[in-house]
């Protein structure tokens, strides 16, 4: 593995999101002096916090999987997750609601899920689920250490027996078809393939290897930190500070000072911070601008779809909603065509509805409730641009509320007391390319060794981390990206990704 040469005693990490904080903890554990610079007034990055009218709103991800990766980050500085954070396991992990009125509770316990599938779709589908679960576990074992939790220096690293194992498992076929090999019920196929959307590829075109995301969700388990998802970066930042890191908030990086091919200082709008190496976690265009160069690629980067998010603080709730509810529309293939090719908001949307107050009522005032509605939408490269979304956003919000009232949440509009609408306008203002928080899509030419590297030619002591680089999008992979960035500076450490184990208290 290629590592940063020369002196690397003091590392400046730009960005206190999950990737930056993961990098900081792993660097601290390896004995480096670490300064973290963050433009906002608090840690979190995409996993931020907004307080409005007594509601504590998570502005980023709402699903935490693979808590062993969190444990690994805390362990780097001699701590345990339980010292800093209480993790709840929502039960069920998800509730899937379909346009035909049917409903399936998704459990991560194998026996419970098999029983639920049998009641939902019959004994044959339950047997298929049992085989699917075994396949997902094998797929995870074949991929994690060799293809996800690793720094690639060359595509030649793919030449390993694990690649043959992945091929033998059908990992290079198509995701939807492979899931269909186990369960033929179209509703079940959706439950185990919708995750590909957040990787930026429709299930019919995505590699079957991306079912590893379904493994993380439906086998390894779904968790929620008490205090909201923002409690995770807050706990990581506190652990980093206690381990000796200097965290400097409210500072925007304006430029990097260089001497030859090395960065010698990070300059903010308030100070100059000398350094021996730097970890950059902003979205790729921002990091490349700071470095003064972008890697050459034979084809331009393609970005994942974006999302419209409605945060709604309400005076009531709908008990039929679980902590996480996936509300599927009748359309499916056409939906992905609209999002990735036609560039239109979904005409028959499938939505993720999160009700965090189902697990932690303290996130809202007494008697109130918090709901988070995520509606995938085209990014600004293929769909409406920022100017169009400024006009479209309020209308689309009204359409979403009307659709939710028709499906799962009657009376929603009248129940809203506080709300925040987030559209590609806001993602663009935060510096996310193509107006999407999901960054670069996981097409084959943008995966593994073909994804933008965390090392950039022409700069000897700068490393990238975050969802745009290795290994990719999602909370688990972003935590790994921070660790991989740290290893580029410190060299690999003895501890590697552990196998996930059940834990946490049920909601």
* pLDDT class of 47 with cuts at 50, 70, 90: very high
Residue 499, pLDDT > 70, answer: no
Residue 116, pLDDT > 70, answer: yes
Q: Name the percent of the chain lying above pLDDT 90.
A: 88
The mean of the pLDDT values for the chain is 94
Residue 502, pLDDT > 50, answer: no
Domain boundaries along the sequence of the chain: 8-47+61-85+225-298+444-488, 108-216, 302-432
Degrees, nearest 5: CA angle 103-106-109: 145
Q: Residue 332: is the preceding peptide bond cis (ω within 30°)?
A: no
Instruction: Residue 185: count other Cβ atoms within 10 Å of its Cβ.
Output: 18
* pLDDT class of 492 with cuts at 50, 70, 90: confident
Tens of pLDDT, residue by residue over 388-407, are 999 999 999 999 999 999 99
Predicted confidence at residue 500, as pLDDT, reads 52
- Domain 8-47+61-85+225-298+444-488: state its class: alpha beta
Angle between helices 475-490 and 67-75 (to 10 degrees): 30
Say if CB 312 and CB 81 are below 8 A apart. Answer: no
Degrees, nearest 5: CA angle 445-141-126: 100
- Check the CA dihedral 354-360-363-366 and report its sign: positive
103 beta partners:
97
Output the CA–CA distances (angstroms, integers) from residue 255 to 97, 265, 270, 272, in the order listed: 49, 9, 12, 10
Mean pLDDT, residues 279-297: 94
Residue 454 and residue 171: Cα distance in Å, rounded? 25
Residue 319 is encoded by which pair of tokens? 């008990």
Say if CB 94 and CB 106 are below 8 A apart. Answer: yes
* pLDDT class of 197 with cuts at 50, 70, 90: confident
Residue 507, pLDDT > 80, answer: no
* pLDDT class of 296 with cuts at 50, 70, 90: confident
């Amino acid at each position: 593995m290629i590592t940063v040469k020369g002196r690397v005693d003091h590392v400046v990490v730009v960005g206190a999101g999950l990737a930056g904080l993961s990098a900081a903890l792993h660097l601290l554990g390896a004995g480096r002096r670490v300064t973290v610079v963050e433009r906002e007034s608090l840690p979190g990055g995409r996993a931020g916090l907004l307080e409005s009218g007594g509601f504590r709103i998570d502005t980023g991800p709402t699903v935490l999987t693979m808590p062993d990766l969190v444990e690994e980050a805390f362990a780097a500085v001699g701590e345990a997750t339980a010292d800093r954070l209480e993790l709840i396991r929502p039960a069920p992990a998800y509730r899937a609601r379909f346009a035909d009125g049917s409903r399936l509770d998704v459990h991560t316990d194998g026996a419970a899920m098999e029983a639920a599938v049998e009641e939902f779709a019959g004994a044959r589908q339950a047997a298929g689920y049992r085989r699917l679960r075994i396949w997902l576990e094998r797929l995870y074992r074949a991929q994690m250490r060799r293809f996800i939790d690793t720094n690639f220096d060359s595509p030649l690293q793919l030449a390993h027996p694990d690649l043959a194992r992945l091929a033998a498992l059908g990992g290079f076929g198509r995701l939807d078809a492979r899931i269909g090999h186990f369960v033929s019920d179209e509703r079940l196929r959706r439950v185990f393939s919708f995750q590909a959307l957040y990787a930026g590829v429709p299930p019919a075109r995505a590699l079957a290897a991306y079912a590893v995301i379904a493994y993380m969700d439906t086998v390894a388990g779904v968790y929620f930190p008490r205090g909201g998802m923002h409690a995770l970066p807050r706990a990581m930042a506190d652990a980093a500070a206690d381990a000796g890191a200097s965290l400097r908030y409210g500072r925007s990086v304006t430029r990097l000072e260089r001497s030859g091919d090395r960065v010698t200082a990070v300059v903010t709008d308030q100070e100059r911070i000398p350094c021996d190496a730097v970890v950059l976690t902003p979205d790729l265009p921002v990091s490349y601008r700071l470095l003064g160069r972008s890697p050459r690629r034979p084809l331009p980067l393609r970005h994942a779809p974006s999302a419209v998010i409605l945060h709604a603080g309400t005076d009531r709730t709908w008990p039929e909603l679980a902590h996480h509810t996936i509300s599927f529309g009748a359309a499916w293939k056409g939906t992905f065509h609209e999002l990735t090719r036609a560039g239109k908001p979904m005409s028959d949307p499938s939505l993720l509805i999160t009700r965090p107050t189902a697990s932690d009522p303290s996130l809202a005032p007494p008697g109130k409730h918090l709901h988070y509605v995520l509606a995938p939408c085209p990014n600004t490269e293929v769909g409406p641009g920022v100017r169009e979304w400024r006009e479209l956003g309020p209308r689309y919000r009204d359409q979403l509320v009307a659709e939710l009232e028709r499906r799962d949440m009657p009376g929603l509009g009248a129940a809203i007391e506080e709300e925040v609408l987030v559209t590609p306008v806001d993602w663009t203002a935060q510096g996310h390319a193509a107006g999407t928080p999901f960054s670069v899509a996981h097409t084959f030419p943008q995966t593994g060794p073909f994804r933008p590297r965390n090392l950039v030619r022409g700069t000897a002591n700068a490393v990238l981390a975050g969802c745009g680089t290795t290994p990719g999008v999602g909370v688990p992979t972003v935590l790994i990206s921070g660790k991989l960035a740290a290893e580029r500076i410190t060299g690999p450490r003895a501890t590697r990704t552990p196998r996930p184990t059940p834990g946490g208290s049920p909601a």
